Amino acid sequence: MPSTPPTRALTVGDIMSRSVLTTEAGASVAEAAALMYARRVGSVVVVHDGAPIGILTERDLVRFAAGAADARSALVGDYMTADPDTVQESEEVIDAFRRFAAHGYRHIPVVAAGGGGLVGIISMRDLLMKLRRGPASAAHGAVGPSAAVEALPPVASDLTSTVLSLLDVGRATVPAVVVPEGPELTYRALRQHVGRVADTLASLGVARADRVAIVLGNGPEAVVAILGAAVAAAAAPLNPACTEDELRYYLEDVAASALIVPRGGGEAARRAWPAGALLVEIAIEADGKLWLETSIRGRARRTAPGPGPDDVALVLHSSGTTGRPKRAALRHRNLVSSARNIVATYGLSSLDTTLCVMPLFHIHGLVGCTLSTFASGGTVVMPVRFNPVGFRRILAAHKPTWYTAVPTIHQLILARQRERAHPGSSLRFIRSASSKLHEATLLGLEEAFGVPCLEAYGMTEASHQIASNPLPPAPRVSGSVGRGIGVRIGVMDAQGQLLTVGASGEVVIQGPSVIDGYDDNPEADARSFTNGWFRTGDQGFLDSAGYLTLVGRLKEMINRAGEKIAPHEIDEALLKHPAVAEAVSFGVPHDTWGEVVEAAVVLRAETTEAQLLRHCREHLADFKIPTRLYLVGSIPKGSTGKIQRTRMPNLLRGAP
């Protein structure tokens, strides 16, 4: 009987590139740039006596180009990143991955054991593209039905970290939050303000196990209040657009011990708040100074005790499709893990600036945009009220390198771009998450801005990101939400068995960013967790390379006489008609068929229901064709831009 070959951990030497481009500090920037272009590489290692003393990357060249120096006379030594971090070829790949995630590296020089000379270089592309080569590939391949995904090891999560560690990445004088035509907070000011909010709450008797409700619109006040509350207790940000009755329900549901509102604002929240309970008003002045006012006198000034990684940092209501939403209790280690996963996915660094167009009371805006940027030491440009009309102006003034949004916002931005050609921008990629991005929108964004648009997959219970399509040159799969980074993804049947590659079932996830359980809801936990896997409620399948394709929400699938119909397929067919701007399909009860398909569309040009149905017959099987089309002026959406598909029949009842 043949013996089983021994396995060992995958090392840097197994996947690194041994052919490494080098230069000297005395070479000109022009010479180095020409070498990089000729070899089609993103960096050149600067050496002295065979040892790396610096690295010059594409980002360094971008920074150089922003100045007025002559590349022919400028020296590499003046523009390189000196004393670069290095790894030894004997180190485990997972340790290298940890460094990429923590610091936003794209390339790290590899040196011989004992800190010797340069022997190679490892890049994020090596980590993503070569992991199944090398001695450990057989061990990875034998994992089970999800082997294609598990062959990509998760980002190592530092389970000892809290959100405070994310604020320590940025340099003190670098802008952390910038409000267009408003205040600006450096990382030093952000850290100070967060500490002051936490200490104020602690001095007022707020304890670690308490919940602090926050009803604020986007802006530095919301950032400071949410993080300060997460340090002293647990933050519970709520939508300021909610009515008084809605806010009263949410305030009672989270059992808030304190409420933070804007100075002189938040009237509905104030009315919903019990008389005499702790109320805190907050404002950031034009010069960046923090203003706080409390409704009761504090005790002797206290310093808030530092939170632990297992402490709950954030309580958010999940956007359930039926009934009252559940409370997701996100711990510090969950948030840190997700933020660093996002940094690793997109190679974020201190040179990146993001434009925050998503609300901070939603996990997408808070983690997907803001905390991930803090984790890279970059800058968040945060309009108080985002308007797609001003998008071009913000691009020109603040030069963001990326932004992330739900498809509805992308469509609004794209509509403005179509009206007037865009001459180019500072963007290096666009990200979409939180609901399905239609292919027409993706292609339109890429054409308008000339950068890749990457569809990602996230949810509140995973502290946002689960999977994402990678940046070029890694392959992107059309219609897929990409691969998991830092999160294990499987597909499960109704009996709790993991399915093989290509089989469709419920998407399940594991990982350090996934919640341990809902807040005080054992019934929901029992329904949502199976054998250590969290059941997302989404239906999808994995391909052999680990890319996940979502078919739809299980509760949104239309069951017509036993035929399961994915509503996104009908949406896509309708959106192919040139007169259709938006489309959403859904199931409605039927006495004979169980359910039939109906749809609502928003038009951008004149057409008729009969013409649209004729178009559907060209693209869909007969049983998928809508039995009724609603021509509407707008499609109702939730507070974050998500279409509430299962509520559509009731919302549209009585429409013409």
**561 and 531 part of one domain:** no
Q: Which of 574, 555, 585 is nearest to 648 (CA)?
A: 585
Domain harbouring 167, CATH code: 3.40.50.980
pLDDT of residue 460: 93
**151 and 178 part of one domain:** no
Crossing angle for the helix pair 391-398 and 407-419, nearest 10 degrees?
A: 90
Domain harbouring 461, CATH code: 3.40.50.12780
pLDDT of residue 149: 40
Q: Is 5 a domain residue?
A: no
Residues in a beta bridge with 17: 121
Q: Is 150 a domain residue?
A: yes
Name the pLDDT band for 634 (thresholds 50, 70, 90).
confident
On the question of pLDDT at 580 being above 80, the answer is: yes
Domain boundary among 76, 109, 142: 142
**151 and 137 part of one domain:** no
585-600 pLDDT, tens digit per residue, is 998 888 777 778 999 9
Q: Could you give the CA distance from residue 568 to residue 578 in angstroms, rounded to a whole number? A: 18
**360 and 509 part of one domain:** yes
**196 and 133 part of one domain:** no
322-377 pLDDT, tens digit per residue, is 446 789 999 999 999 999 999 999 999 999 999 999 999 999 999 999 999 999 99
**548 and 564 part of one domain:** no
Domain boundary among 552, 575, 601: 552
Lowest mean pLDDT among 107-121, 210-224, 264-278: 107-121
The distance from CA 332 to its chain's CA centroid, rounded to whole angstroms, is 16
**380 and 529 part of one domain:** yes
Domain residue limits at 439: 145-157+334-552
Name the pLDDT band for 155 (thresholds 50, 70, 90).
very low
Contact yes or no for 171/115 (Cβ under 8 A): no
Contact yes or no for 548/477 (Cβ under 8 A): no
**84 and 130 part of one domain:** yes
Contact yes or no for 345/481 (Cβ under 8 A): no
18-75 pLDDT, tens digit per residue, is 778 889 989 988 888 887 766 666 788 898 888 888 888 866 775 565 555 777 888 8
Q: Is 292 a domain residue?
A: yes
Q: Could you give the CA distance from residue 269 to residue 249 in angstroms, rounded to a whole number? A: 11
Domain boundary among 307, 326, 353: 307
Domain harbouring 629, CATH code: 3.30.300.30
Q: Is 320 a domain residue?
A: no
Higher pLDDT, 356 or 299: 356
Lowest mean pLDDT among 110-119, 190-199, 321-330, 416-425: 416-425
**100 and 133 part of one domain:** yes
Name the pLDDT band for 542 (thresholds 50, 70, 90).
very high
Which is it for the CA torsion 188, 193, 195, 196, positive or negative?
Answer: positive
The distance from CA 612 to its chain's CA centroid, rounded to whole angstroms, is 35
**238 and 112 part of one domain:** no
- Total domains present in the chain: 4
On the question of pLDDT at 143 being above 50, the answer is: no
Domain harbouring 116, CATH code: 3.10.580.10
Strands in 87-88's sheet, in edge-to-edge order, are: 87-88, 107-111, 118-123
Instruction: For the chain, give the percent of residues with pLDDT over 70.
Output: 84
Question: Quick one: tokens of 36?
Answer: 């990089």
19-30 pLDDT, tens digit per residue, is 788 899 899 888
Contact yes or no for 315/326 (Cβ under 8 A): no
Lowest mean pLDDT among 202-211, 320-329, 492-501: 320-329
Q: Is 326 a domain residue?
A: no
**522 and 415 part of one domain:** yes
Q: Could you give the CA distance from residue 54 to residue 45 in angstroms, rounded to a whole number? A: 6
Which is it for the CA torsion 373, 374, 376, 377, positive or negative?
Answer: positive
Which is it for the CA torsion 455, 458, 463, 465, positive or negative?
Answer: negative
Q: Is 103 a domain residue?
A: yes
Instruction: For the chain, give the percent of residues with pLDDT over 90.
Output: 54
Q: How many other CB atoms are there within 10 angstroms of residue 105's CB atom?
A: 21
Q: Is 212 a domain residue?
A: yes
Would you call 79 helix, strand, or coil by DSSP? helix
Contact yes or no for 229/292 (Cβ under 8 A): no
CB burial class (10 A; 0-12, 13-18, 19+) of residue 286?
exposed
Q: Is 313 a domain residue?
A: no
**191 and 231 part of one domain:** yes
406-437 pLDDT, tens digit per residue, is 988 998 899 887 655 455 579 999 999 988 88
Name the pLDDT band for 9 (thresholds 50, 70, 90).
low
